[in-house]
């Protein structure tokens, strides 16, 4: 049996909403585990774990 699930390219696996002031803390906490999409920061959110 296969494990996990098929994820379409570009699908956000987790989304964190935060104020701009919190971005540095959020980024530091997850930078080793997730890919951060910087282009989303101006919308006051980060899309983490995006499949590229």
- CB neighbours (10 Å) of residue 30? 16
Cα(21)–Cα(19) distance, rounded to whole angstroms? 5
* Within-domain flag for 4: no
* Within-domain flag for 28: yes
* Within-domain flag for 24: yes
* Within-domain flag for 1: no
Q: Could you say which residues of the chain have pLDDT below 70?
A: 1-8, 10-52
Whole-number pLDDT of residue 52: 45
If one counts the domains in the chain, the total is 1
Q: Residue 47 is inside which H or E element, if any? A: strand 45-48
Whole-number pLDDT of residue 23: 60
* Within-domain flag for 30: yes
* Within-domain flag for 3: no
* Within-domain flag for 6: no
pTM attached to this predicted model:
0.19
Which residue segment(s) compose the domain that 42 sits in? 15-48
- For residue 44, the number of C-alpha atoms closer than 13 Å in the C-beta half-sphere is 4
* Within-domain flag for 41: yes
């Amino acid at each position: 049996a296969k494990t996990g699930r098929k994820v379409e390219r570009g699908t956000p696996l987790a989304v964190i909403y935060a104020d701009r002031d919190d971005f540095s803390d959020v980024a530091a906490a997850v930078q080793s585990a997730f890919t951060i999409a910087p282009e989303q920061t101006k919308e006051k959110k980060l899309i983490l774990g995006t499949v590229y």
